[in-house]
Structure formats: structure tokens, C-alpha cells
Structure 1
Amino acid sequence: MTDPAAAPTDPTRVVVVDDQRLVRSSFAMMLSVEDDIDVVGDAADGAQAVDLVRRERPDLVLMDVQMPVMDGIAATEQIVSDDLAKVVLLTTFDRDDYLFDGLRAGASGFLLKNTEPEDLVDAIRSVARGHALLAPEVTLRVIERMTSDDTPTDSVAPSPDLARLTPREREVLELVGRGLANAEIARRLFLGEATVKTHVSSVLAKLQLRDRVQAVVFAYENSLIRPGNSAG
């Protein structure tokens, strides 16, 4: 559960990006009634989104994936690499082939287009507080896709940053990469949840990762996740 004390004092400024006007209007309407969320613009494709974000400097972008001119993955990569805003991708479970590409591009998470209004608002607040938005079932889908990839990760040299982790931190990173929440990791390792939270924060800091989403990608790319051990 998110800490209310960590909530931003200013309204979260949001940009909505989708090539369907009705979708953009629906999301904007859902969000505009909230006192702590301010929709500062919308765009119909990735190129427009990048320009708009550079101009408005929102806190968060709700980004569709499939769009003309520039798709949401490419736009996300530009926005995140230039540190302009956090990005949450809009997706559907029947098109989850974009998930891992979105993570690589730097997205802070994913929302389904049919998300209930209250869940949409909660998600935006959560990401604005610095939390990644990746539900366990989505994490496992991403891992399943990554571990079924034809390209073996064993042929890639592990990051030298792994050596900065203690054995316990490396263990925690592997479990984060397998999609376990802090409470599950605590039970698995017989630790307190606060201790696990401290380990996770240390791992992210040492590896210079933004959030747990990036930790999943890092764990896969460094062969800490292998086919057959992604869950449980």
C-alpha cells in the first residue's frame, strides 16, 4: 500500500497519447475530475507526444503503443532517455508482445485500456510517487516471453555491476526478477518485509536502476532468470 505521506504536494501533470480521439477524451475525462491530477495536453502519435512533452514537461505520460508516424515504444525511449517524464504504456493482454520492448524503452509500467476509472487514478498516483506499475501477472507474462526468447542470454557477458551486490542482495534481485513481491520474498528468505524493502532499495541504487521494472529486465539480461524458473 502506498504511503500517503509520500504523495506529491502539487497536482500530477499528465499527457494522454492515443491515435483514437475517443480514447484520449475518455481518459482525460476520467482524470479531470481529480483534484490532484491535471491533464495538460494530448497527442495523436508518438512524434506529437515527444514535442508536447518537451513543451509541457508533464510528470507522467499515458502512451498508446500502436500509432502512426512514431509508435509508443520509440516515443517512450526518447522521452525516458531525455528524462522528460515517466511513461505508462496503454496496452491490452491480447497484444502483450509489446511488453518487453516497452520495458527496455524505459516505461514505468502498463495499464489496460479497459482499466476501471478508480484503478487508473490509483495507478497514476502510484507512479507519480515513484513506484513501478507492473502487476505480478504482467511480470510473469513478461518473464515468460523473455525466457522463451530464441536468443540465449548465456552468451552475453554479465554486467560488472553484479559484483557490487552482496550475496543476499543478489538473491533478492533474482526473486524480484521472478516476479515476487516484497512480502513473498520475505517469506521465502525468512526476513522481515522492511528488511527486504531495504535490500531492494540497495539493489536499485547499486545497479542504477529506476524501479523494479528495470530490475526484472536486468535480472533476465544477466541470466539470473532462466527458462523454467520464472515463477514459484
Structure 2
Amino acid sequence: METIKILLADDNSFIREGMKIILNTYEGYEVVATVDDGREALDYCLTHEVDIALLDVRMPNMNGVEATKEISTRTKAKPLILTTFDDDEYILDAIRNGAKGYLLKNTEPERIRDAIHSVYHGSTVMQDVILDKLKSNLKDKDDGGKEEMKIDASLFTERELDIMRLIAKGYSNKPISEELFISEGTIANYISSILQKTGLEHRTQIAIYYLKGSLD
């Protein structure tokens, strides 16, 4: 059985060590190091094999958002944000910088475990509360009941816009295929086209792009 190697970065030693104990109880999960700032997290990922870097946001020397950018561009580790802060600016900055997920610390340990597993296998994760935080900043719905988008709809086909809308609602490929009556393979092709047109990297960024108009 494969073992997911995890780095924990948090300046709160109680949270850091507690999370280490919890994650090490799960089969196939190993916390290989714990550090208390983003600089140490980056240095460790540069010199050791790490699959998932679980990062707090507010840390000394280098915060989690800054560390995410460095780790995602300079190492093979996949950054996953775990924080008590749900400020939408942190969310956008973290996703811009390559975060593969964004979780709150009050999340149940089993869900954190599952999120790590999903990110390890190439998915992105974002809790409903995070998406809700972003959605709350949207303008009021128009008379037709549709969300007002700031994106340039002329860049996309009608089908691509449908897929972006469903991704923003948190749908995975299977539910999207059932909703639109097209195959999952076709969905994947449309998503690849959307990523190419926007220069984005993964579906969570598509959701943010659709909801906010851009990642800037």
C-alpha cells in the first residue's frame, strides 16, 4: 500500500503536534516533518520527498500563501491550506499561488484525511463554506434568476459555460455528465478547453473564475 508523505506547517505547536498524531493513526499516511513557518516548509520540501504540504496561512518568516507559491513552483509537493481564517482574499491568493485545496481547522479529521487523499490523486478540494464565502460577494441575481457573471462569455461556447456553472456549484464530472447528458470523457475535453482558454490550472480555479470574473 502506498504511503502519502505529509509535511505539517503551523506556528501553533498544539495544533501541529495534534494533527501529526491524528494523521499518523491512519494507514497509508505519514507525517514526515512538522515545522512552524513557511520558510522551513519550503526548505524541507526542497530537500526531502513530500507529497502533501499542509500549510497554515498566518506564520512567521513566510506565510502559507507565500509558501504555497514557492512550494508549488519549485518542488513536487502539493500545497493544501489548513487554517482558521476564511477570508476570501486568502482563498484567492492561495489558489492563485497553486494551492490544491483550502480547508478550515474545525474540519473533522476524517474529512481532512480524505482531502489529503484526493489532492494526492490529482483532485482539488474546497469546502462548501469556502465557496459560500465567495458566492456571498457576488452581485444580486438578476430578474431571470441567473448569477450575473463578469467573465467574457464570448470566449466560451454555451456548453463550456454550462460546465463552468456546474463546476462552480461543486459538481464533479459524473454529476455534470448526468445533468448535461454527455459523457464524462467529453466533459474532460471541455474542461481542458476551458483551462487552455483561461490559462488556469485546475477546476477549483475555474469555479473561482466563474464566480468572481477572474483570479485577480
**1:91 CA drift (Å):** 1.9
Deviation at 1:215, TM superposition (A): 1.8
Q: Does 1:84 align with 2:83?
A: no
Q: CA deviation at 1:196?
A: 3.8
Alignment-derived partner of residue 202 in structure 2:
211
Distance in 1 (CA, whole Å) between partners of 2:21 and 2:124 is 24
Correspondence for 1:5: none
Deviation (angstroms), 1:65: 0.1
In the alignment, residue 62 of structure 1 is paired with which amino acid? L
- 1:93, distance to aligned residue in structure 2 (A): 5.4
Counterpart selection for 1:65 from 47, 57, 69: 57
Does the C-alpha gap of structure 1 residues 224 and 113 become closer, same or farther in structure 2, counting only changes over 3 Å?
A: closer
CA separation in 1, counterparts of 2:127 and 2:189? 21
Q: Distance in 2 between matches of 1:94 and 1:140?
A: 10
Question: Which of 191, 196, 208 is residue 200 of structure 1 equivalent to?
Answer: 191
- Distance in 2, matches of 1:25 and 1:219, equals 38
Aligned mate of 1:189, from 177, 180, 187 = 180
Percent of paired sites with the same residue = 33
State whether residues 14 and 38 of structure 1, in contact with CA within 8 Å, keep that contact through their aligned partners in structure 2.
yes
Q: Is contact 2:103-2:127 (8 Å) kept?
A: no
Instruction: Give CA deviations for 1:103-155 in whole Å, capped at 9, x if unaligned.
Output: 1111111122122222221111111111111133422323444x47xxxx96x
SS of 1:14 mapped into structure 2: strand
After TM superposition, the score normalised by the length of structure 2 is 0.78
CA distance in 1, matches of 2:128, 2:196: 22
Name the SS for the 1:40 alignment partner: strand
Where does 1:112-191 land on structure 2 (aligned, <5 Å)?
A: 112-145=104-137, 147=138, 167-177=158-168, 179-182=170-173, 185-186=176-177, 188-191=179-182
Alpha-carbon offset, residue 216 of structure 1: 2.3
Q: Which residue of structure 1 lines up, in the alignment, with residue 37 of structure 2?
A: 45
Preserved CA contact (<8 Å) 1:18 1:67: yes
Instruction: Give the length in aligned residue pairs.
Output: 205
Indicate if the aligned counterparts of 1:65 and 1:90 stay in contact, CA closer than 8 A. Answer: yes
SS at match of 1:172: helix
8 Å Cα contact 1:87-1:108 kept in structure 2: yes
Among 103, 113, 120, which residue is 1:111 paired with? 103
Partner Cα distance (1:139, 1:186) in 2? 22
Tell me which moved more, 103-112 or 210-219.
210-219
Letter of the structure 2 residue corresponding to residue 131 of structure 1: S
Kindly provide the CA deviation profile for residues 27-46 of structure 1, in whole angstroms up to 9, marking residues without a partner as x.
10001112201111011011
Partner of 2:46: 54
- Give the structure-1-normalised TM-score: 0.73
Q: Work out whether 1:21 is the aligned partner of 2:13.
A: yes
Larger deviation: 55-64 or 93-102? 93-102
In the TM superposition, what is the alpha-carbon distance from 1:12 to its structure 2 partner? Answer: 0.5
Cα distance in structure 2, aligned partners of 1:144 and 1:57: 39
Question: For 2:58, what is the secondary structure of its paired residue?
Answer: coil
Structure 1: 5+ residue stretches without partners = 1-8, 226-232
Q: Residue type matched to 1:169 in 2?
A: E
